[in-house]
Amino acid sequence: MYCAIDFGTSNSAIAIPAEGEMRLVELEPGQRTMPTAVFYYVEGPETNGPPRAFGRAALAAYVDGVDGRLMRSMKSILGSSLVEQTTDVGGGRGVKYLDIITGYLLHLKTLAERQAGHRIEQVVLGRPVFFVDDEPERDAKAQAALESAARAVGFREVHFQYEPIAAAFDYEQSVGSEQIVLVADIGGGTSDFSIVRVGPQQAKRLDRKSDILANHGVHIAGTDFDRRVELASILGEFGYGAFGPSINGAPAREVPSAVYFDLATWHLINTVYNPQRVAELRQMRTFYADARHHQRLMTVVSERLGHELASRAEAAKISVAEGGHARIDLGHVERHLAVMLTEGEAVQAIEGDLARIVDAARVTVAQAGLRPEQIDALYFTGGSTGLRLLAQQIAAAFPQARAVRGDRFASVATGLALHAQRWFTRGV
C-alpha cells in the first residue's frame, strides 16, 4: 500500500513494491519515466476533470497543433504566488495551478494502482533541497502545497525525502566499502547537492541522519539554461536587446524587455497571451526602430507561439550539449527565418549560472566541514548533468574524486523507492 514518487520539473516516475523489491512503474509503453507535462484540450468530454493528456501524449498534442494549452515545469510554481491562482486552459475553463499538479499526481497514482492491483495510500515524495532559495517560509509553503496535492489524490500518509539523498541511496547499492559521496542532482528546476556517507554497513540502518553531512542547493538548472539560450539566440530576432528610433536627436532607448523574459519562462508564457497585454504590445510599434522585430513579436503573441519558441531553444541546447552547433528553424513565425547556436554561444549564455552551480557544490563541502580532497566520489544525476561542460566544471573542483554517472532520469526515483521500502516496512 505504499509507493515512491519522483515529481520532477521535467520528468517524473513512480515506484511500487513487487515480489519483495521495488520497481519503477511503466508509465508509457516501454518508458519508466514520463515528461511532467499536461495538455488541456479545448474540446472533449470531462472525466474526473477537464479533458487532458499527460506526458508524451501531452507533448504530441501540442506538437500536432491540437487546440488547447500545454503546461510544463509545474513544479516551478510551488512556493510562488501563482500556486493558488486560476489560469485559463481553454474552452471557457479555468483551473488552479495547484489543481494542475494534483491532476498530474492523480494520473501517476492511477497508473501505479492499476499495475499494483490495489489502492495505494502511503507515499515517499522527493523534494529539492530548496524549493525557494534563502526564503525558509516560502520553502515550507511549497512543501505544504505539494503535500496537500498528495493528500487530495488519496495518500493518507505522506513522507518527504531530499532528492539528492535519494540519489545517494541509489549509488550506495554499488559500493563495497565506506565512502563520502557528493551527489550532484541537477534537473530542470534546481541544482541540489548532498554529502552522504555511504557503504554496506550504512545501508542497513533506517535512520541515516548521522550519515547526511550537508545539503545545499540553488534554484538554477535546466529551465534556466533554456531561458538564457532563448534570450541569447532567438529573441533578438523579435526585438530583445534592440533599440528604438532616435527622436529629435536624443539617444535611442532600448525596447522594454519584460515581455521577452516572460516568453522565455515556461510558466509565464501564457500571461503574454492576455488580450489586454496583446493590445498593449500592439500599441508599442513606435518603440521599435526595426519594424520586423515588432511584427514577429506580434505574430508570436497573437498566434500563441511562445511555447514553441521555448521548445526550440530547449532542443537547441540539448543538440549542442556534446559540442557542435544547431540551426534553430523559426520558419513557423516568418518564412526562411532561422538562427544558429554554437556550443560557445550556449556556454557564454549560461556561464554565470554554471559558476553559481559549481560554487554551490563547493559551499556544500565546506558546510560539511570537509576539504575537496576528502570527497571520494561525485555522483551525477538529473537531466541537466548531460550538459558536458557543467559536469566537467564540477569535476574540476574535486579533481581527486571519482566521477560516476547514474541514470539521469531514474536514479532519484530508484533511491526514493529504496527509502520507501525501508520506511514503510520498518518493524515488519
The per-residue b/e assignment along 313-328, b for 16 or more CB within 10 angstroms, e otherwise, is: bbebbbbbbeeeebeb
Name the residue with higher pLDDT: 81 or 45. Answer: 81
Could you count the other beta carbons within 10 Å of the beta carbon of residue 248? 4
Query: What are the E-state strand segments in 296-387?
Result: 325-329, 338-342, 377-381
As given in the structure block, the three cell numbers for residue 209 are 541522519
Bridge partners, residue 99, by sequence = none
Range scoring the smallest mean pLDDT among 68-77, 106-115, 147-156: 68-77
The per-residue b/e assignment along 116-126, b for 16 or more CB within 10 angstroms, e otherwise, is: beeebebbbbb
End-to-end, the C-alpha distance of the chain in Å comes to 14
Whether the predicted pLDDT of 233 surpasses 80? yes
Q: Sign (positive/negative) of CA torsion 420, 422, 427, 428?
A: positive
Name the residue with higher pLDDT: 206 or 381. Answer: 381
CA 187/CA 416 separation, integer angstroms: 16
Tens-place pLDDT, residues 275-311: 999 999 999 999 999 999 999 999 999 998 998 999 9
Q: What is the mean pLDDT of residues 135-157?
A: 95
What domains does the chain contain, in order, with CATH numbers?
2-163+412-424 (3.30.420.40), 167-221+349-408 (3.30.420.40), 223-338 (no CATH)
pTM: predicted TM-score of the whole model, two decimal places: 0.83
Q: What is the mean pLDDT of residues 30-53?
A: 88
428 falls in which pLDDT band (50, 70, 90)? low
Name the residue with higher pLDDT: 132 or 405. Answer: 405
Whether the predicted pLDDT of 160 surpasses 60? yes
404's enclosing H/E stretch is strand 402-405
Q: Sign (positive/negative) of CA torsion 229, 230, 233, 235?
A: negative
Tens-place pLDDT, residues 388-401: 889 999 999 999 99
Four-point Cα dihedral 269, 274, 280, 283, nearest 10: 90
